Amino acid sequence: MNFNGQKVLPAIKRMKDFEKVLSNNDEYMVMLDLHIAQLGAVMNQTKRANKKVILHADMIQGLRNDKYSTEFLCQQIKPAGLISTRGDVLRTAKKNNVLAIQRLFLLDTIALETSYKLVEQIEPDFIEVLPGVIPHYIEKVRKDTKTEVITGGLIETEEDATRAFEAGAVAITTSREDLWKFNIGD
């Protein structure tokens, strides 16, 4: 499952950007920095627009990122996927047949090794590698974990996006509206 061929996943930080993505042709979007009170309305609007939402579970204000909150998200809110660094969130998403996307920060080798251990335990559907401007690590994480990689963070140009795809990323996440329509090979 590779987002039905969609290579760029718009990452929404502001509601005015959400409205723009609702009216474009993208099927998937990533919601960042959302308030718990907005969840119901956001999901209703996306369903009416035939869109699929991936929620960043660690960034929902007013909701703990634990097993019980994740059960609520999966069973009541019903996103297409959840992004998290937390094992309980990812395990619960998988149990509820919601895409589990493990966020992995390229800080140092200790962080990388710790993330690899979590990948072994959880077997997420995807790994989101941040920042996305280090192509050889995108390739390394994909090969080391044998898990599909999406990437985001600090991708500012079409050149950055192209390098990420060439390194093996199946998609990028970006809040940069000018990259939402980028297609590899254009």
The pLDDT value recorded for residue 89 is 97
Report whether pLDDT(184) > 80. Answer: no
The CA radius of gyration of the chain, in Å to the nearest whole number, is 15
83: nearest Cα among 55, 121, 63: 55
Q: What is the mean pLDDT of the chain?
A: 95
pTM of the full structure = 0.96
> 153-170 burial string, b = 16+ CB within 10 Å, else e?
bebeeeebbbbbbebbbb
Is residue 172 classed as helix, strand or coil in its secondary structure?
Answer: strand
63-83 tens-digit pLDDT: 998 999 999 999 999 999 999
83: nearest Cα among 37, 45, 133, 28: 28
135-181 tens-digit pLDDT: 999 999 999 999 999 999 999 999 999 999 999 999 999 999 999 99
Looking at 2.40.100.10, 3.30.930.10, 3.10.450.40, 3.20.20.70, the CATH number of the domain 3-179 comes to 3.20.20.70
